[in-house]
Chains A and B, each alone.
Chain A
Amino acid sequence: MSTSKANNEVVENRRQNEQMLDEMSRLNNELVNLQRQLAIKNARLEQLNEQKNQLLGIATHELRNPIASIVSGCRLIERGQMSEDKLKSTIKEIYKVSDKMLHLVDNLLDVSKIETGQLSLEKTSTDITEILTHVVEFHRLFARRKDIELKLKFSGTIPKLDIDVSKIEQVLNNLISNAIKFSPKGTEVRVLAEPGKDEFVLKVEDQGPGIPEQEQGKLFKPFSRISNRPTEGESSSGLGLSIAKNIIEAHKGRIWVENMPETGSRFVLALPVK
């Protein structure tokens, strides 16, 4: 009787012991989990900080030249010894440079929003044919200046898409302006809209230099301008495609580039159809 009682006590002690060990293991799991969260947060912050510095570096570098040219323009005007024509063209130049700066600052703001995860979409069911027509019309003027023929073609009936209109417009603007900007005079830019089975596909094709194979990897990353430069001194911050990629992926779509068989590039984007 007493041995069995002692035996029971031993068993009970062991049970308590094991319970205690399991409880410690639970606590330890929690602790390590917190450690993990901290480590990840830390790594993210470091990455963000690095990007911020990069951003700052680029911003100051890119903004310095236009500001300098505005300042010198203002100085000329201040002296007041200009002909009417010269005055007009200086002011025009100041506008142009300011526009470039505005464009850069807008892009930087977009990138910083994306980096901090603040890119939010306001989706509405939209007829993309209207938007496309509108965007292409807008670029026709720039195209004409470079004697580039801008064509828009729809095949089949285009379904309505669930998209954030202003964000998608931004993407289309960038793709079309790129095609015009990096192509030489007298070429052709084609915008083709094709309904797929569960995707809407849009292609922007040009007859410019194309994207060298070895540079395709960094094309969609922020701050990585590649070797192609605008042919007529248009503005280029090297951020448009990285912003576009983020916007398209936030729509659960895809964007990529192909080289055309002869010359030129084809940017393709695919958006899911509800």
Chain B
Amino acid sequence: MNNIEVLESLKEPLAAVAVEQTYRLDPTLMVRYGASGRDKCLQDTFCHIQNLIQALRYSSPLLFTEYVSWFAYLLVNQNIPVQDLHTNLAALGSALKEQVPDLEESVFSKYLQPAVQIINKPLADVDSFIDDSQPHAMLCREYLAALLEGNHKQARQMVLEAVKSGTSVRDIYLYIFQNSQWEVGRLWQQKKITVGQEHFCTAATQSIMSQLYPYTFSGVQRLGKRLVAICVGDELHELGLRMLSDFLEMDGWDTYYLGANVPLESILKAISEPPADVLAISTTMTIHLPFTQMIIDRVHDESFSTGARILVGGYAFNIDPMLWQKVGADGYAVNSAVAVDEARRLVGLAPV
């Protein structure tokens, strides 16, 4: 067993020991957060370990530092002092030393310490994703405001009118749907909106996207290329992949959108009958990377050669721009607009 496998097998006891130590290091935690706080701490610590394992597996400190700074930001916005995360990470460090004595020093120097350094500095506010230098910023702002007020109809009206007066569906996707969703994420993280609002905005945007479909899909010259699109495991974040599939459909690909929670066997079937030219895999949560890896390994397996090329993307791959190569994918794109040319490259078609 290598150390990553050791860590993988010790995830649960490690989290328990680390929490034990956290509360020993700072007894006021119990007073401040009670028993339910301790349960939450156990969940969170488990999550830290899962993220650390993924970072180690892909030799990508970025995956871990990005996660920790995201988490710290989340805590601060819930009025939980960063100091508590500090204590927790210190405890995790010593639990690791204790439980896995021959762990490489680099785990500490390249992963844990840089993460701690990041949260030592004052956390910078994440800038708004709706930026006046981008096209349609006004519309995006109004669209989001309508949704946050629960006014789905008004938001839909705005978008339909924009399309009727000549704004392209692609622009609506990138500058209205994508940017407003990213902004929703930022506002949620800052506790400025509720989880309910986050769900509402997403559902409303998904529904408005569907109402654009008559514009999206009509009169496109077919390319005769087939793309199967999936999210991995229990991934709930489907909007990015849907956007990607729609962009390719608009480019003339025959797209087959499977979404999340699809068993491996069904995926393999979907890419072999009829044979797919490209399999697109979207991964948002870093902790879902093992599923992504498993699918890539299986599809690339000699014995199962359908010739499908693998295109990856999503939030997790945008954190570390080298990650796509490390998982062994054939291509990657930062967003759905870039993805069209990348997919074309994979099947030997000229870019648009």
A33 contacts B257, CB within 8 Å? Answer: yes
Q: How far is the CA of A26 from the CA of B206 in the complex (A)?
A: 12
Counting chain A residues whose Cβ lies within 8 A of the other chain, the interface size class is 20 to 34
A8 interface hit (Cβ, 8 Å) = yes
B202 contacts across to A, CB distance below 8 A = 25, 28
Taking the complex as formed, is A18 at the interface, i.e. its CB lies under 8 A from any CB of chain B? yes
Near B by CB (< 8 A), chain A positions 30-52 give 30, 32-33, 35-37, 39-40, 42-43, 46-47
Q: Which of B206, B213, B218 contacts A46 (CB 8 A)?
A: B218
Q: Tell me whether A8 and B36 are in contact in the complex, defined as CB-CB below 8 angstroms, given that A29-B236, A33-B259, A36-B242 are known contacts.
A: yes
Cα distance, A88 to B238, chains bound together (Å) = 72
Complex: chain A residue closest to B35, CB-CB = A4
- Taking CB atoms, residues of chain B closer than 8 Å to A76 are none
Tell me, yes or no, whether B34 is within 8 Å of chain A by CB.
yes
Question: Closest chain A residue to B245 by CB distance?
Answer: A36
Partner of A36, one of B40, B199, B210: B210
CB within 8 Å of B: which A1-26 residues: 4, 7-8, 11, 18, 21-22, 24-26
Q: B257–A8 contact, CB under 8 A?
A: no
Contact B35 A24 (CB under 8 A): no
Main secondary structure of the interface of A (DSSP, over half): helix
A215 within 8 A of B: no
Q: A18-B195, A26-B236 are in contact. Are A39 and B214 (CB under 8 A)?
A: yes
Smallest CB separation, A27 vs chain B (Å): 10
Is there a chain A Cβ closer than 8 Å to B101's Cβ?
no
**Bound CA–CA A29/B231 (angstroms):** 12
Nearest-neighbor residue (CB-CB) of A10 within chain B: B36
Q: Is the CB of A11 within 8 A of B36?
A: yes
- Asked if A30 and B36 make an inter-chain contact with CB atoms under 8 angstroms apart, the answer reads no
Is there contact, CB below 8 Å, between A30 and B259? yes
CB distance from A208 to the nearest CB of B (A): 28
Bound CA span A235–B29, Å: 90
Asked if A32 meets B242 with Cβ closer than 8 Å, knowing A4-B35, A18-B195, the reply is yes
Mark B residues whose CB is within 8 Å of A. 34-36, 39-40, 195-196, 199, 202-203, 206-207, 209-210, 213-214, 216-220, 224, 236, 238, 242, 245-246, 249, 255, 257, 259-261
17 sampled A-B residue pairs with Cβ under 8 A: A4-B35, A4-B36, A7-B34, A7-B35, A11-B39, A25-B199, A25-B202, A25-B236, A26-B261, A29-B236, A32-B209, A32-B210, A37-B257, A40-B217, A40-B255, A42-B217, A43-B214
Task: Spell out A's residues near B (CB within 8 Å).
Answer: 4, 7-8, 11, 18, 21-22, 24-26, 28-30, 32-33, 35-37, 39-40, 42-43, 46-47, 246, 249
5 more contacts with CB within 8 A, not counting A25-B202, A43-B220, are: A7-B34, A33-B238, A33-B259, A35-B213, A39-B214
